[in-house]
Structure 1
Amino acid sequence: MTDTTHTDNSTTTLRKGYAPSRFGQLHYVECGDGEPVLLLHQTPRSWTEYLDVLPRVGAQHRAIAMDTLGYGASAKPEGPHSVERFADGVADLVDALGLDRFHLVGHHTGGVIAVEVAARFQDRVASLMLSATAFIDAERRSGGGHGRIDHVDPKPDGTHLLEMWNRRRGFYQPGEEAALTNYVIDALTVLDRVEEGHESLRRYAMETRLPRITARTLAVCAPRDHYSLPSLAKFAVALGCRTHVLSGGHAAAPEQVPEEFARTVLAWVGHHQGADVLGS
């Protein structure tokens, strides 16, 4: 099942579809043709985090942004979320779409899910780009995290909507209200389970999965994303991978610097073209 729409800033057509899975239907949006590049969003977001990235990557590849299991328009199964179950959803999608080999990009929570997917599909993940991905080890798991990040208690007068807005306001610059609005929309669709994506990361034994990754890997981060920035050095040690700091942006880098983000994806997917864009 698919339908199409056109982006305002590109002639590239976005194709929306649903794929079957063991959990129910999974929603995805794609554009372009050629080698597949699968993009995984942070929680509690949806594919719209990549709205401005898709047509740019799709100009050279088949760019696919899925709604993570439990988020956006994808199935919302009962039971606790986990990184492993999120990865099960990705596995079902790539099988349903017939992606024998694909490039993988994950942002924040999507990056942790991408670690698990790359560890499972060593022979199918052609390259891996981890964007603002938390390095989760015993120290991170025992640290208690940062408390509740997105949770708000619904109020009869609707003031919880402003509270939700203000919880994330510091991650956005003036003029980026449209991106912040998209965050609020996505978070409201999973308001009763809005913290579970973050909580699932705190239970994930990433260090046991990293040695299984064989795909060439790039770890990137926005300069103002101080929560994730320290993880670059840890991934460099654990994976022997390259790292790259974007010129701007915060936790919503795919929306804040979409052109640079897409350019970085294309450079890494192309690999032989990467030195000019990413530096030596």
Structure 2
Amino acid sequence: MHYVESGDGEPVLLLHQTPRSWTEYLDVLPLVGARHRAIAMDTLGYGASAKPEGPHCVERFADGVGDLVKALGLDRFHLVGHHTGGVIAVEVAARFQDRVASLMLSATAFVDDEKRGGTKGHGRIDHVDPKPDGSHLRELWDRRRGYYRQGEEAALTRYVIDALTVLDRVEEGHESLRRYAMEPRLRHITARTLAVCAPEDHYSLPSLAKFAAALGCETRVLSGGHVAAPEQVPAEFARTVLEWVGRSHDPGPGPGVM
């Protein structure tokens, strides 16, 4: 398992979307690391982490998180997940329960029967067929260009790099998400939970209400951004993480109280 960390103190573990890597948190990591031990890992099968054979699934991704938690000796930690990383975070929080001090789900899909019912509205998200002339590189760029604003080309370049490292399996993260049985796992989550989303991320925004209903958690809409919110509004994203983590020292309402 590959990870990058910044800072000292209470650990905050950051899980990225697929087919990304820890670089999704490139600008968030030092901001969170100014007050905590911020750890951004590469999900099993992505980035510089091991790439095992066999089908990916959310449970196997969570196994990789568990291996890293054990290797680093994290007895208790805060957990943040973005998009697919958020779904993985649900599974990790259900397994580790009270060892997860707080949970922040960013633009996380609420995987219910409607989500598992097919690819309606999605289709293949990142798949491209390699071409001898390299035109598939432009196609990969164009598939995500609409999610990034002018001036955010560096972040889009990082996405292309990450996707190219797993090009033969680039869709499997999305497919594994749509096979995940989330509902029975939610009842095992004991961590204080916040669900957030960027205002332009219309894929994920409807899930906020579903998580609020299922977990009784707080929700928040960021001031800007799309599917790449940690890269597009890193200061606000990091501030939201720090505020939520900081509430663990607050003797306020317990988990599930809005």
Q: 2:49 aligns with which of 69, 74, 88?
A: 74
**Counterpart check, 1:236 vs 2:212:** yes
**Counterpart check, 1:198 vs 2:171:** no
1:81 and 1:196 in contact (8 A); partners too: yes
Q: 2:39 aligns with which of 64, 82, 102?
A: 64
Gaps of 5+ in 1: 1-25, 275-279
Gaps of 5+ in 2: 253-257
Deviation at 1:273, TM superposition (A): 11
**Counterpart check, 1:173 vs 2:172:** no
In structure 2, the partner of 1:90 is: 65
**Any runs of at least 4 consecutive aligned residues in structure 1 with deviations exceeding 4 A, and if so which?**
none
Identity of aligned residues (%): 86
In structure 1, the partner of 2:98 is: 123
Higher RCO (C-alpha 8 Å, min separation 6):
2
SS at match of 2:78: strand
RMSD over aligned Cα, in angstroms? 1.2
SS at match of 1:126: strand
Residues 1-280 of structure 1: pairs in structure 2 closer than 5 A: 26-145=1-120, 146-271=122-247, 272=250
CA–CA distance in structure 2, aligned partners of residues 166 and 139 of structure 1:
28
Partner AA of 2:50 in structure 1: A
Question: Residue by residue, what CA displacement relative to the aligned partner does 1:16-66 show, whole Å, maximum 9, x if unpaired?
Answer: xxxxxxxxxx00000100000000000000000000000000000000000
In structure 1, the partner of 2:255 is: none
SS at match of 2:174: helix
In structure 2, the partner of 1:22 is: none
TM-score, with normalisation over the residues of structure 1?
0.88
Deviation at 1:144, TM superposition (A): 2.6
1:267 and 1:273 in contact (8 A); partners too: no
1:137 and 1:207 in contact (8 A); partners too: yes
TM-score, with normalisation over the residues of structure 2?
0.95
Deviation at 1:143, TM superposition (A): 3.4
Partner AA of 1:170 in structure 2: G
How many residues of Structure 1 are paired with residues of Structure 2 in the alignment? Answer: 250
